[in-house]
Structure 1
Amino acid sequence: MSESSLIPLGGLEFIVTYRGATQERRDNLRGVLRHLNRTYTDYTLYLIEADKAPTFHWSEIGDEKIRHVFVYDDGPFPKAKLCNLAVKMCSTETICFHDADMIANPYHFPLCVNAVRHGTASDALCPFLRVLNVNGELREQFIANGDYDLLKPYLGEAVPESMEVLYENTPGAIVLFKRAAYIRIGGYDPRFIGWGGEDDDLLTRAQRLGLRWHSVPNPDAALFHLHHDSTSRLEAVASAQRNRDTAAETRAISDEELAARTAELVKYFA
């Protein structure tokens, strides 16, 4: 897009947590950043990287909208902790958690931003329902320039033969939040370390505490996931039983226990 045709996001603050454990993941991040830069304007992106050493350097892109924060961490990826850290850095009323390998429809996304910012129906909003996996040459072409027009032909009811449905529905990937609502429920629980469970826990807590969390059930509002090392992802899923068990606890505990846990989590943001 030309500078005049970029879509303004009204100062939206993105939160992207990241670990460049493989070349595919490093490439995916660059594709996401290129897409956001060529599609939108008037936003700030907090890129929170946790690793033994950085695999992203701001000088690669030189985008003044990006705030790169590196946190040394040689353990399992601490997504929940990093998200909460970024929320404390944010200063606006609307935030967006955005995975480093996901692409939203640029038609629906700004509508969802405005719905959360100005509307009264949703405290949290996923600008999609299902997630389609992008692989092979199409993925490489998109990463090279971030042009959504490459992906647009694959929207619709039918799933293209060249793609698979990664998720029929998920509470994670890309989520817009009223910042005050996120803090009121305590944010992500930092007990979740490694892959899985943290989004389910947050959704359950949000619903039990009365937050209005919605998705956009429109085939054209699908997300595109940039494929990466599925072998390691499957291994991570298999090893995440502890996180899944912890998320299940949030559904089972009493209202009093939930209130006490939330009160402890909220203290981080004080």
Structure 2
Amino acid sequence: MNSREYCPPYWDSSLPLYERAIQEIEKIRSAVHWFPAFERELPPEAVYSSLISALGKARDDGALPAGLVHRLADLPENIRLVYFSGDPGELSSPRRIGLPPEGKPAGQVHVVVPFRARHSTLRLRNILACLHSVRSQSDANVKFYVTVVESDESPVHRDRLEPWVDNYVFQYQPGPFNKSASLNAGVACTKEDSDVLCLLDADIVVDREFVSRILCESQNASAFLPYEDAFYLDLESSSRVVDGLDADGADFVGTLSGCLLRRPPGGCVVVSSERFRSVGGFDPSFVGWGGEDRDFITRLERESPVPRTPHTLLHLMHERPEMANAAPRATHDPQAPGALA
């Protein structure tokens, strides 16, 4: 899998910056005889670590222009999509969101997961892992319920999904997948007006404290993103995470590889039922791939800020749809990090 396939909009909008970075590397090579060549045809895991090490050595040796040293220092905040291999715990702030004074999260969470997979694909594997992780919360007393909306021409995977959820909803959707319509249908199953909505993509696996953190943070914000960045795992790492869930439901600890997306707008959003209604829910005019999450967050932000928590989402690898039907606004993300100037 090449880097573009992790997140095509991020890759396409950042391509001019990547090309400029390669030009800068070639300039360094012409001045520093030992600096490694950049091989475009090699996978990122074969290039990234050695390149970063070489840049660090060249900086320490005083072989880099001052301006480039400054830009390297700002790189973690400005980069948008980057290869990563390591412990995902290193990506998050050590600060944990505290529990309420009584030590018990208050309220109830409605987890809504939209889904479509025409065949028994990686997407089916992923949603089963997603639901398994949600059901594996460490606090047996935390209150939540789960709705899955399968939007397709027929309820293809009802038998596989229904045992994991409180509500299975089939929504007839014969055309391109409409995630907005699926989410709106799932939210309609909310039991109480006071319930907190967790709108979760089917390819995300969560940790054992996930629901407790949501309930705690929802006392401070009526809408928020329960993560800072998203770690899009490669195929091998995705398989190991899923295998770990199948074994005992424990959180995965160890080295994972893939691409890190900085401050993406989608994957999971938490919002009060009242706030969801106040902005009219998701816009079903977004048909195909992308754009609906950014639109929803933008409309929420017109009312009040939508903060992020210092955590990292884990996204499992899956097949990518044909991008020809992608929403034309998918690359519009005014919240994205700034360009590397």
Give TM-score, length-normalised by structure 1: 0.73
**Structure 1 pair 37–58 and aligned structure 2 pair: CA distance change class (3 A):** farther
Which residue of 288, 309, 317 corresponds with 1:227?
Answer: 317
Distance in 2 (CA, whole Å) between partners of 1:148 and 1:163 is 21
Structure-to-structure mapping, 1:120-135, within 5 angstroms: 122-135=221-234
**2:326 pairs with one of 232, 235, 240:** 240
SS of the residue corresponding to residue 275 of structure 2 reads helix
CA distance in 2, matches of 1:59, 1:98: 18
Do the aligned partners of 1:105 and 1:222 also contact (CA within 8 Å) in 2? no
CA contact under 8 A between 2:137 and 2:209: conserved in structure 1? no
- Cα 1:224–1:68 change in 2 (3 A) is same
1:183 is aligned, of 274, 277, 290, to 277
Q: 1:33 and 1:125 mapped to 2: Cα distance?
A: 21
Q: Deviations over 1:107-162 (max 9, x none)?
A: 4652232221x23xx22111111111223343223324523522x435xxxxx5x2
**Take 1:28 and 1:76, find their aligned partners in 2: how far apart are those partners?**
20
Match of 2:153 in 1: 52
Between the aligned partners of 1:53 and 1:142, the Cα distance in structure 2 is 30
SS at match of 2:328: helix
Number of positions where the alignment pairs a residue of Structure 1 with one of Structure 2: 221
Q: 1:68 to 1:163 in 2, by over 3 A?
A: same
Q: Match for 1:37 among 127, 135, 143?
A: 135
Post-superposition offset of 1:84: 1.3
**For residues 210 and 204 of structure 2, what CA distance do their matches in structure 1 show?**
14
**Contact kept in structure 2, 1:123 and 1:211, CA below 8 Å:** no
- What one-letter code is carried by the residue in structure 1 that aligns with 2:113? V
Indicate the residue corresponding to 2:18 in structure 1.
none
What corresponds to 2:259 in structure 1?
164
Amino acid paired to 1:96: C
Distance in 2 separating the partners of 1:46 and 1:61: 9
Distance 1:53 1:145 in 2: 31
In structure 1, runs of 5+ residues without a counterpart are: 1-6, 155-159, 249-270
Tell me which amino acid in the other structure corresponds to 1:113. L
Which of residues 209, 212, 217 is equivalent to 1:115? 217
Are 2:122 and 1:21 equivalent residues in the alignment?
no
Are 2:230 and 2:313, in contact at CA under 8 Å, matched by a contact in 1? yes
Aligned partners of 2:136 and 2:208 also within 8 Å: no
Is 2:108 the counterpart of 1:11? yes
SS at match of 1:133: strand
Gap change, CA 1:104 and 1:33, over 3 Å in 2 = closer
2: CA distance, partners of 1:89 / 1:60:
17
After superposition, the CA RMSD in angstroms is: 2.6
Matched, 1:153 2:243: no
Task: Among all aligned residue pairs of Structure 1 and Structure 2, give the percentage whose two residues are the same amino acid.
Answer: 24
Higher helix share: 1
| CA distance, structure 2, for counterparts of residue 30 and residue 89 of structure 1 | 21
The answer (yes or no) to whether the contact 1:113–1:176 under 8 Å persists in 2 is no
Equivalent pair of 1:130/1:170 in contact (CA under 8 Å): yes
Q: For 2:105 and 2:240, how far apart are their aligned partners in 1?
A: 25
Larger Rg: 2
Q: How far is 1:13 from its partner?
A: 0.6
Question: Which sits farther off after the overlay, 100-109 or 170-179?
Answer: 100-109
1:195-240 residue CA offsets vs partner (Å, 9 max, x unmatched) = 11111111111112x2331112x3xx1000000114x3xx32x542
TM-score (norm 2): 0.58
Letter in 2 for 1:178: S
Distance 2:163 2:106 in 1: 20
Distance between the aligned counterparts of 1:129 and 1:239, measured in 2? 28
**Letter aligned with residue 145 of structure 2:** T
Specify the SS of the correspondent of 1:96.
strand
Residue pair 1:109, 1:127 contacting (<8 A) in 2 also: no
CA contact (8 A) 2:204 2:314 kept: yes
